Structure 1
Amino acid sequence: MKKMNVLLALGLFAFAPAIFSQKNIDPKDIREKMQWFADAKLGIFIHSGIYAVNGVDESWSFYNKKLSYADYMKQLNGFTLKKYDPAYWAGLIKESGARYAVVTTKHHDGVAMYDTRMNGLSIVKKAPAKQDLIKPLFEELRKQNIKCGAYYSLIDWSDNNYPAFLKDSNRYVVSKDYDRWNRFRNFFQGQIKEINTMFRPDLWWFDGDWEHSAEEWESQKVRSIILSGNPKAIINGRLQGYGDYETPEQNFPVTRPNYHWWELCMTSNDNWGFHNDNNWKTPYEIITIFVDAVANGGNLLLDIGPKEDGTLPEEQVNILKELGAWNNKHGEAIFNTVGGLPQGHFYGPSTLSKDSTTLYMFLHGKMNGPVMIKGLKNKVEEVTVLGNGTKLQPKIVGKISWSPIPGLVYIDVPASVADNYVTVLRIKLDKPLNLYKGSGGLN
């Protein structure tokens, strides 16, 4: 078998050039540690930071000169966390059905959400909050058996050793001032070591890698730092090729991505942090996006943005609760499944049980009437409306007794069983899924 085919079979081709260039990397170990992520399907992203005080763009607002850096940093004085309840956050995340959560430990603005020892810029030292946001949240999440992820920005627009400090000033070419760049590398790698030691994240969510190369970041060294402290930690794809999975942002892929493990990160309105933004996605929109991601073999990392006092917008609470109620009813079709039918066999998203003997079909909206499956060689043993229990009778159309080509499977779905958001049909097969791939006729 050619090398590329081997990598594809292992599900590792997306990041193989970097991972396999390292020594002592066992593909089996990577697959095993990624299994919980593959089964998790849903994570909650938490963008908490001083940008919530005035409801402005996180970090980018001063970088893009919507306001001055000085005015942006004045928000430190209003970041209180006076109503912060990490147990409530964790309980709400659990209720949503999420299996993991990712929280900002430091965004591009350089403000640490924990008590960093690498400098004095943290909400513990500089804000009236005077507390570490990360530790109590991780403790509460772990009580709920939810995996803990740390978002960390590699770039730092408040550090005067960073070459893009305040965008226009302090620029320098790394190759011409490696002493200065090394001072910054020691700083950010020191923070990574702190976070790894203090919180032992199950997942690392890097951001900002686009500004420098893997060599300049020392990406392989960063990966080694993390794994030496926690060999089971997984890393997102924003480490210049040294991550474990890909993270498309906001834009949903039309066709199933080629990489094996992936996660769609998406906001619940149009902004990551708390913002003066009321363009909320509806629970229906979130649930259908989530279903499509899972059906295409990925996860959804859904973002929420807490206010400066630690409370959550009512709209985001409602989204998480509605998502959780739907997951509670239909979770069998989501969690611990794999991507479903290839395009063309069913005009909608679907998933499969891991043994491929149960097919789950998702019907968006209050859809009713006949739905169709093409090219199914299996015998359908039973069709049930998931979460409802109603049994439906499939009808086979166009099957010729002397031809090996399967007929079309029609299932009539009555309006009375339709879910408010997405209805799920559970289709029990006689054996593992077997699909017809021919072009019709007598072939």
Structure 2
Amino acid sequence: MAMQKWFTEAKLGIFIHWGIYAVDGVAESWSFYGGQVSHAQYMKQLDGFTASGYDPKAWADLIAKAGARYAVLTARHHDGVSLWDSAESDLTVVKRTPAGRDLLTGYTEALREQGLKVGLYYSHSDWNHPDYASIVHTDPPNEDVRTNPLVAPREGAEDPVAWQRYLDYRDAQVRELVDAHRPDLLWFDGEWERSEEQWRMRELAEQIRSLSPGTILNARMLSYGDYATPEQGLPVEAPDGPWELCLTINDSWGYQHADGNHKSVGQLVRLFTETIGMGGNLLLDVGPKEDGTIPSEQADRLLGLGDWIARHEEAVYGTAAGLPAGHHYGPSTLSADGRTLYLVCFGIPHETVSLRGLRTPVKRVSVLGRGSELGHRVTGGLGDVPGVLWIDAPADGLVDAYATVLAVELEGELDLYRGKGRD
């Protein structure tokens, strides 16, 4: 399926990791997998998960104010606890927690009321399912996948019948999600624990496409994914095709009481502009508390990022990746018609801002959102090698607190020199 246009135009999505792990503030699923807490202690969190303050309309309002165009909620993580009333499992927040109700429908409806696209996260793996640890990866990527008792059968004693039961369970749960919500995006995870053939990815992709042809899939559907999902680290070179950087606001995906290491609004603006300048989307993660409220430290940062985006919408939405590295000291984006460059400047520009390798003559330069025109001139240049464009630094009163954007209007479509100069 061709990538949906809305995704490449969205620029920002909000990832929401919400589950029973928020009760004690432990790592989602991984805390019992790695032994930081016992399995019994982890599962006891079912008793404390209330969703008592859950207001999906407030979530959707915050997501919209952040400038995001879509969100992705963890419908089921590796711990197997489903946020909806699955007919395939008793391990759901409806049947096993004080929340006692489906938590996906309100989310889906609230997002769509705001005109936002709906994403659902679902893990291929389920470390609580009795049939999951029944076969071994045909080419294990690490020792854990080969030997961990939550993943592989003890002493390699495989049970293909049990594995088929597990696949039937997974496929049925995915069918429930697609039937009920027709998600715009399905964000899969856990794929490293089996091969593509063992997962029967082709059959799963065909099932999803037959039910909801417009649903896009991330790369954790392996060969059947529509876009790449680098995680927690901005790539130095952009992945091929559409992509999205998934990133936490602090150091944790889910809510962890002790994690106060939040990125500042300025750092989020920098990471966001660097991501869209390379042609990707940012999927920025928040971790609601067990009651469903988003911590104020995280909500405030979303609002701060949204305020910056609102001041610079022209440089965000409807743009493509900007200049390759080496032309400008900072990220940039390019208008859809290829005739306006948006240069992002961090800190306070002094004297001049330089732009190298620009062949297209410049018509006008201004501070985006302020309308103030800036002087500019070209020095040097020889033959095919263009000179350097120097743009007068904006006055102090025109500088944005987080990142100033200069709109460089060109006489024609962008034409760059990428050579090595004269011998």
- Structure 1 segments (4+ residues) deviating >6 Å: none
Change (3 A) 1:175 1:182: farther
Report the secondary structure of 1:281's partner residue: coil
How far apart in 1 are the matches of 2:16 and 2:238?
26
**1:13-58: per-residue Cα shift (whole Å, max 9, x none)?**
xxxxxxxxxxxxxxxx504x2x111110100000000000000000
Query: Are 2:404 and 1:434 aligned?
Result: no
Q: Are the equivalent residues in 1 in contact too, given 2:127–2:150 (CA < 8 A)?
A: no
How far residue 97 of structure 1 moved from its aligned partner, in angstroms, is: 0.4
Query: Are 2:365 and 1:393 aligned?
Result: no
**1:368-415: per-residue Cα shift (whole Å, max 9, x none)?**
431111111111111110111111011111146xx4432210012132
Query: Are 2:322 and 1:340 aligned?
Result: yes
How far residue 169 of structure 1 moved from its aligned partner, in angstroms, is: 6.1
Report the secondary structure of 2:342's partner residue: strand
Match of 2:389 in 1: 409
Report the secondary structure of 1:351's partner residue: strand
Match of 2:78 in 1: 108
How far residue 434 of structure 1 moved from its aligned partner, in angstroms, is: 0.9
Match of 1:25 in 2: none
Code of the residue aligned with 1:54 in structure 2: it is D
Match of 2:179 in 1: 197
Q: Are the equivalent residues in 2 in contact too, given 1:210–1:240 (CA < 8 A)?
A: no
Match of 1:326 in 2: 308
Match of 1:273 among 241, 251, 254: 254
Q: Are the equivalent residues in 2 in contact too, given 1:366–1:421 (CA < 8 A)?
A: no
Match of 1:53 in 2: 23
How far residue 308 of structure 1 moved from its aligned partner, in angstroms, is: 0.5
> Could you say what the CA RMSD is over the residues aligned between the two structures, in angstroms?
1.7
Report the secondary structure of 1:240's partner residue: helix
Code of the residue aligned with 1:234 in structure 2: it is I
Q: Are the equivalent residues in 1 in contact too, given 2:188–2:218 (CA < 8 A)?
A: yes
> Is there any run of 5+ residues in structure 2 with no aligned partner, and where?
136-146
How far apart in 2 are the matches of 1:379 and 1:367?
22
Q: Are the equivalent residues in 1 in contact too, given 2:272–2:282 (CA < 8 A)?
A: yes
Code of the residue aligned with 1:261 in structure 2: it is P
Report the secondary structure of 1:392's partner residue: coil
Match of 2:242 among 257, 261, 267: 261
How far apart in 2 are the matches of 1:98 and 1:151?
17
Match of 2:335 in 1: 353
Code of the residue aligned with 1:150 in structure 2: it is L
Match of 1:224 in 2: 206
Report the secondary structure of 2:40's partner residue: helix
- TM-score, normalised relative to structure 1: 0.89
Q: Are the equivalent residues in 1 in contact too, given 2:365–2:373 (CA < 8 A)?
A: yes
- TM-score, normalised relative to structure 2: 0.94
**1:125-178: per-residue Cα shift (whole Å, max 9, x none)?**
110001111110110100111000010011001101011799436842889421
Match of 2:268 in 1: 286
Change (3 A) 1:250 1:170: closer
Matched residue count: 409
The share of aligned pairs that are identical, in percent, is 46
Match of 2:67 among 97, 101, 115: 97
How far apart in 1 are the matches of 2:349 and 2:100?
51
Code of the residue aligned with 1:405 in structure 2: it is V
How far apart in 1 are the matches of 2:134 and 2:372?
60
Q: Are the equivalent residues in 2 in contact too, given 1:154–1:208 (CA < 8 A)?
A: yes
Report the secondary structure of 1:161's partner residue: coil
Q: Are the equivalent residues in 1 in contact too, given 2:52–2:99 (CA < 8 A)?
A: yes
Q: Are the equivalent residues in 1 in contact too, given 2:50–2:291 (CA < 8 A)?
A: yes
How far residue 198 of structure 1 moved from its aligned partner, in angstroms, is: 0.7
Match of 2:225 in 1: 243
How far residue 79 of structure 1 moved from its aligned partner, in angstroms, is: 0.5
Match of 2:144 in 1: none
How far apart in 2 are the matches of 1:235 and 1:78?
33
Q: Are the equivalent residues in 2 in contact too, given 1:368–1:418 (CA < 8 A)?
A: no
Code of the residue aligned with 2:388 in structure 1: it is L
Match of 1:373 among 337, 355, 359: 355
How far apart in 1 are the matches of 2:245 and 2:297?
21
